[in-house]
Amino acid sequence: MKTAVITGANRGLGAEWVSQLLEEGWHVYAGYRSEPGRLVSLEHERLTTHILDVQSNESVEAFAEHAPNKIDMLVNNAGVADGRWRNLQEIDEKWALEVLDINALGPVRVVKALYEKMSHSSLTRVAMISSLMASIDDCHIGRSYAYRASKTALNMFTVAMKKEAREDNITFAILHPGWVKTDMGGDKAPVEIPESILGMRHVLSTRTLENSGEFIQYDGQILPW
């Protein structure tokens, strides 16, 4: 049976990844930071949950230790926003560093900790949940400084690690979920959660060692860096 690991799985996009993958017959190992939230209603014999704070090496290591021994998919979904409309003078340095720590380094910690369990004879697909707001080419309206920078850094971490990982049969997709109706995306977002996840699942399923590291939207559109 194929096994997927999902971070930030108690609500929003993460919980829907869990729901759709269970429907599809996957074994799912899901991380939640403090409250299991929607994971409670998704209870299933193929679902295992574990506490995970991607900011803490200790927490990531304990999560990895309890993970199944062979992992076929990892969705690095956990992330935080940074107070979108703050202007330059309002940048809170302490919070900005936290945003960078969670959004850019968090997924790297998880990849490092699960690496041995992901490297095996069959291909492992890793989704790094980024954002169009990471795009330097597309940054026309500015603001959201720390969030943008954190996701741009995540993109570079991923592109930089893809070569090393290719030798170990691991491929990456850098995914933009669309602007989605979640707590983070808000009510005005045009994309519904199930549509975003359906699209990202399809894009992830088309990953090979050759196309590793592409920056792609949930509907398959390649994004500018």
Ligand X SMILES: NC(=O)c1ccc[n+]([C@@H]2O[C@H](COP(=O)([O-])OP(=O)(O)OC[C@H]3O[C@@H](n4cnc5c(N)ncnc54)[C@H](OP(=O)(O)O)[C@@H]3O)[C@@H](O)[C@H]2O)c1
Write out the residues near ligand X by the rule CB under 6 A.
7-8, 10-14, 33-34, 52-55, 77-80, 102, 106, 129, 131, 176-177, 179-180, 182-185, 189
Name the DSSP class of 101. Answer: I
Can you give the length of the chain in residues?
Answer: 225
Q: How far is the CB of 204 from ligand X (least distance, A)?
A: 14
**Choice between 118 and 129, CB closer to ligand X:** 129
Q: How far is the CB of 126 from ligand X (least distance, A)?
A: 14
Read off the amino acid at residue 18.
V
Per residue, what are the HEC states of 47-92? EEEEECCCCCHHHHHHHHHHCCCCCCEEEECCCCCCCCCCCHHHCC
Other beta carbons less than 10 A from residue 43's beta carbon: 10
User: Least distance (Å) from ligand X to the CB of residue 148?
Assistant: 11
Task: Select 136 or 209, whichever has its Cβ closest to ligand X.
Answer: 136
* Residue 5, phi then psi, degrees to nearest 5: -115, 130
| Cβ proximity of 49 and 32 under 8 Å | yes
For ligand X, give the closer residue by CB, 93 or 183.
Answer: 183
Side by side, the strands of the sheet bearing 214-217 are 47-51, 27-32, 3-6, 73-76, 124-129, 170-176, 214-217
Supply the minimum distance, in Å, between the C-beta of residue 159 and ligand X: 17
Least separation, in Å, of the C-beta of 122 and ligand X?
A: 26
Minimum CB distance to ligand X smaller for 3 or for 10: 10
- Of 9 and 166, the one with the shorter C-beta distance to ligand X is 9
